[in-house]
Amino acid sequence: MITPALRARGLRVEFPGTLALDDVSLDLPVAALTVIVGHNGAGKSTLLEVLAGARPATSGTVELDDRSRSFVPQRAAVAEHLPLTVRDVVTVGAWGRVGPLRRLTRAHRAAIDLAMRRLDVADLARHPFSSLSGGQRQRTLLAQGLARGADILLLDEPTTGLDAASAELNRAAMDDEIRRGATVVCVSHDERVIAAADLVVRLDAGRLRPAYEPAR
């Protein structure tokens, strides 16, 4: 039996007056695409944040052995006033490999350059992040995630609200990561992303519902 990339057991998240997740358990397959679907307010982003380690669960566990994670939030979740260039934002991803207080090596800088080229933001390296269009920002954030070279890539709405070219670049990057051997998990309403999924996780009011097979 193949060991899952990540196991979640009995996840529960409570906000004041709201139960965001209620007894959610799942296994994420290795080197595969898992898509989390559901209506607005179903708990999708909360689940992704808990899986990414960005939000603590009220109860339950997340087990991933020694695998590394990289979390890419929606562009709306990133402060726009920060005085960072595109390269600065992507470089943050490389800190996950070495820590922010250590110097980046030539290999780390090469990984940053490659991530920017893959997402077509290399020409924008010196531009302020706050000056970018929505599609450019989302591609920059995804490049940040790729620069870490993590075993598990967790993405919140990576193609939503983007122009066709930006959405296609993001989908292609996700495919490339899976071919590299990474596990990709994303929240998405994009029918093309859902159709490509190996596993669809459906949430409704914070609870898992029977998944459906994506159309292929």
Write down the pLDDT at residue 92: 85
Question: Does one domain contain both 137 and 199?
Answer: no
Task: Provide the pLDDT for residue 39.
Answer: 92
Euclidean distance between CA atoms 6 and 68, whole angstroms: 10
Q: What's the rounded Cα separation, in Å, for the pair 33 and 15?
A: 29
Residue among 53, 89, 88 at smallest CA distance from 70: 53
- Look over the chain and give the mean of its residue pLDDT values, rounded to a whole number: 89
Percent of the chain with pLDDT over 90: 69
**How far from 99 is each of 31, 93, 105, 192, CA to CA, in Å?**
25, 10, 12, 36
Tell me: do 61 and 86 sit in the same domain: no
Report pLDDT for 72: 92
Closest by Cα among 174, 194, 176 to 184: 174
The reply to whether 168 falls in a domain is: no
Q: In the predicted model, is pLDDT for residue 10 greater than 50? A: yes
| Among 150, 166, 196, residue at a domain's last position | 150
Distances (CA, A) of 185 to 76, 121, 140, 170: 19, 23, 18, 13
Is the confidence at residue 63, as pLDDT, over 50?
A: yes
| Helix (H/G/I), strand (E/B), else coil: 206 | coil
Output the domain CATH number for residue 202. 3.40.50.300
pLDDT of residue 186: 96
Indicate whether 212 pLDDT > 70: no
Strands 59-63 and 6-15: antiparallel
Q: Which of 125, 150, 175 is the last residue of a domain?
A: 150
186's enclosing H/E stretch is strand 183-187
pLDDT tier, 97 (very low <50, low <70, confident <90, very high otherwise): low
Q: How far apart (Å, rounded) are the C-alpha atoms in residues 51 and 90?
A: 22
The residue segments making up the domain with residue 25 are: 1-65+183-206
- Residue 13's pLDDT band, with cuts at 50, 70 and 90, is very high
What tokens does 201 get? 């996780």
Taking residues 43-49, report their average pLDDT: 96
Please give the pLDDT value at position 8.
97
Check residue 181 and give its pLDDT: 95
